[in-house]
Amino acid sequence: MKKILISSFITISTLSISPLVMADPSEILLTFECPSVQNLGNSGMEIAGFGVKKIQDRSYGVYFSSKNNNDPRLPAGIPSNLSSYRNSLTNYDGITQTVACGYGNPTDPLFFQVSYPVTNARNALVVSKTDFSITISIPIGLTK
């Protein structure tokens, strides 16, 4: 019994003195493809459509909407037929954790965007982006 108590005391003492060991932080890459203009609908109150979220080798349909924008109001004058618009930018807002896709018309100054809220994307960084897609890196794991 005495040996068990002594070995338990030594084990507990060693654990309490040794520093806490944490896993090295890692990352996960998410790539978002904006909805094509053909996949967007304009109801007059909202412009929305499905884009794609890629995680590793898997693709998922995700719903982009103008209601997810920082300012969900649509600019006045956006036509119901969006065929003259083109993908013009992508952006990631780290504060709102939102991916935004912007659309413009080369002959008209009107611009609109649709957004998708990314869950658990705090401290994410933009790795690359084009007018049609954006890749972000989300840190996972603990840091010291």
Reported pTM: 0.79
Beta strands in the chain (DSSP E): 26-33, 40-42, 47-55, 58-65, 86-93, 98-105, 108-117, 125-129, 133-140
Q: What's the distance, Cα to Cα, between the start and end of the chain in Å? A: 38
Percentage of the chain beyond pLDDT 70 is 81
The answer to whether 29 and 127 have CB atoms below 8 angstroms apart is yes
pLDDT in tens, 49-95: 999 999 988 999 999 999 999 888 888 889 999 999 999 999 999 99
Angle at CA of residue 130, ends 127 and 133, nearest 5°: 80
Residue 122's pLDDT band, with cuts at 50, 70 and 90, is: confident
Q: Say if CB 18 and CB 11 are below 8 A apart.
A: no
135: exposed, middle or buried (C-beta count within 10 Å: 0-12, 13-18, 19+)? middle
